[in-house]
Structure 1
Amino acid sequence: MSVVWLNGSLVDQSDARVSVADRGFTLADGLFETIKAVGSRPFWLAEHFARLKAGAAEIGLAIPFSEDRIFDAADRLLAGVASEAQSALRLTVTRGAAARGLWPKDAAQQQPTCVLTVAPSVVMPPQAFVVCRSTCRNERSPLSRIKSLGYGDNILARREAIDRGADDAIMLNTKGHVACATVGNIFFRVDGRWVTPPRDDGILAGLARKRFIAELGAAESSVTTDMIRRSDAGFVCNSLGFSLIKSIDGRDQDQADLPTQAVYSP
């Protein structure tokens, strides 16, 4: 049976219940973190929790459980996982159930919903990318820099990529600069130097991104579409892993050798 941690208790997934009035369901009013684990070892858990707290402060959301309670819940969920199995912990926090309306009148008294789940995680092969045409990233929105539940634009971009015969999409911002892929930060090798978009271009500053910047000596700089065309290699990364870019709009890319063992360590 699949077990989840819901509001402080371990329950079978088939018995887990969240209200239909929960604002995470009705308005995407919440946050999440996705955490890599190998066997019973979660990676970067303290950093994930710190980022969750920062995002919660941005949208005025209370985290209903302490760091220690979350860590204990993660340990309990991972206790039965095989020693070398890779999995993904997902921690989701919403503002909880409320009456209709954009902002609850009793926001300070809201009872947030907190869910922790675990699922198998797979290694991603090199993927074909296209530059997204149907939507863009709003670099001026604070939500672009936190793990908001609102992933509508990313879903549209991924759908476009699939419709165009690719695996994923490169998302631009309103200025036409590269922001990210649909589920991760993106790096390009241009003129022999690795570069990745800066926070001001509407990205979530990922934990793997920080480590790749250090390992590769990558520059944080705006990436134009001309730079994409000049690039000879690239990859996308998030907390669960990375994927090399096989091609962009049909143009093949080199398969770079990346310091992944140094980056993805507990």
Structure 2
Amino acid sequence: FLTDADPGIECFETMYATRAEGVRHVERHLTRLAASAAWLGFPCDVQALRARIDESLAKFADQNAPHRLRLALGKSGAATITSAPLAPLAQDTVGVLLASDYGFAPVESADALLLRKTTRRAEFDRAWREAEAQGGFDMLFFNERGELTEGGRSNVFVKRDGKWFTPPLASGVLPGVMRGVLLDDDAFGAQERVLTRDDVLDAEALMLTNALRGAVPARLIR
């Protein structure tokens, strides 16, 4: 159904950008977008998208002001780019809640769309908005096996025994851009590992990551 009919979803990337420095980790974003498009059977002209991004950046009034740049790609291969100034976080450490404590169902680890950044994310969006209503930034999900997966708008890293760990993609996790950056950083030394609710509750530290905010310390709100 993904190739013969419009699946009713888009691939998208939400990126941090300034006019002076361009899009942070732009190649990682475009590589992920192209991979998602290929899996869905969407045409994706990466060179044309680069040109469209450059056109958008040139319109920013302040060359150093951070912006949220959103690139969406539909089944026809048509792209839409929107942008808005990015306000700073109110606090250096953000609050995180557990989605299962607020009535959210487990995610299904076998759902292949979890590995792609698409607009089929109503429950994720509802979760982070509920987190904001509770004074937090995001909610953490678990899968049908009780394994930690990710936040509604972030990946999560958990510190145990002095080392950082993040759930593997097989648990049902989006390969986030900042997640990839940190896993590729030998000095940081993070590893993938199956994690549980107890790992979150007993963590020495928590960290949320996404392309817009980078890596942000987090605390659990109970």
State if a TM-score over 0.5 links the two structures.
yes
Aligned counterpart for 1:69 among listed residues 38, 44, 48: 48
Instruction: Give me the identity figure in percent.
Output: 25
For residues 9-65 of structure 1, the C-alpha deviation after alignment (integer angstroms, 9 at most, x for no partner) is xxxxxxxxxxxxxx5xxx6422101121122411222221221111112122222xx
Aligned counterpart for 2:146 among listed residues 164, 176, 191: 176
Q: What is the match of residue 36 of structure 1? A: 16
For the structure 1 residues 76 and 236, does the alpha-carbon distance in structure 2 shift closer, same or farther, using more than 3 Å as the test? Answer: same
The secondary structure found in structure 2 opposite 1:211 is helix
Q: Is residue 47 from structure 1 mapped to residue 12 from structure 2 by the alignment?
A: no
For the structure 1 residues 206 and 122, does the alpha-carbon distance in structure 2 shift closer, same or farther, using more than 3 Å as the test? Answer: same
Counterpart CA distance in 2 for 1:77 and 1:137 is 35
Counterpart CA distance in 1 for 2:161 and 2:139 is 23
For residues 153-193 of structure 1, the C-alpha deviation after alignment (integer angstroms, 9 at most, x for no partner) is 20232244345554321111111111011111111111211
For the structure 1 residues 207 and 155, does the alpha-carbon distance in structure 2 shift closer, same or farther, using more than 3 Å as the test? Answer: closer
Shift of 1:205: 1.0
For residues 48-107 of structure 1, the C-alpha deviation after alignment (integer angstroms, 9 at most, x for no partner) is 1221111112122222xx222211111111113212111121110122xxxxxxxxxxxx
User: Which consecutive residues of structure 1, in runs of 5 or more, have no partner in the other structure?
Assistant: 1-22, 96-110, 251-266
Aligned counterpart for 1:58 among listed residues 39, 42, 55: 39
Q: Is residue 79 from structure 1 mapped to residue 51 from structure 2 by the alignment?
A: no
Matches within 5 A, 1:18-29: 28-29=8-9
Residues 99, 141 of structure 2: 8 Å contact kept: yes
Counterpart CA distance in 2 for 1:165 and 1:43 is 28
Aligned counterpart for 2:217 among listed residues 241, 244, 250: 244
Aligned counterpart for 1:218 among listed residues 170, 190, 196: 190
The secondary structure found in structure 1 opposite 2:173 is coil
Q: Is residue 113 from structure 1 mapped to residue 94 from structure 2 by the alignment?
A: no
For the structure 1 residues 117 and 198, does the alpha-carbon distance in structure 2 shift closer, same or farther, using more than 3 Å as the test? Answer: same
Q: What's the TM-score, normalizing by structure 2?
A: 0.85
Q: What's the TM-score, normalizing by structure 1?
A: 0.72
The secondary structure found in structure 1 opposite 2:42 is coil
The secondary structure found in structure 2 opposite 1:195 is strand
Residues 136, 153 of structure 1: 8 Å contact kept: no
Counterpart CA distance in 1 for 2:137 and 2:180 is 25
Residues 137, 153 of structure 1: 8 Å contact kept: no
The secondary structure found in structure 1 opposite 2:178 is helix
Instruction: Read off the aligned partner of 1:78 and give its amino acid letter.
Output: L
Give the structure with higher Rg (CA).
1
For residues 186-229 of structure 1, the C-alpha deviation after alignment (integer angstroms, 9 at most, x for no partner) is 11111211110111011111121122122410110011111111
User: Which consecutive residues of structure 2, in runs of 5 or more, have no partner in the other structure?
Assistant: 1-5
Counterpart CA distance in 2 for 1:199 and 1:39 is 33
Instruction: Read off the aligned partner of 2:217 and give its amino acid letter.
Output: L
Counterpart CA distance in 2 for 1:162 and 1:120 is 19
For the structure 1 residues 119 and 159, does the alpha-carbon distance in structure 2 shift closer, same or farther, using more than 3 Å as the test? Answer: closer
Aligned length: 208
Residues 128, 153 of structure 2: 8 Å contact kept: no
The secondary structure found in structure 2 opposite 1:240 is coil
Instruction: Read off the aligned partner of 1:130 and give its amino acid letter.
Output: L
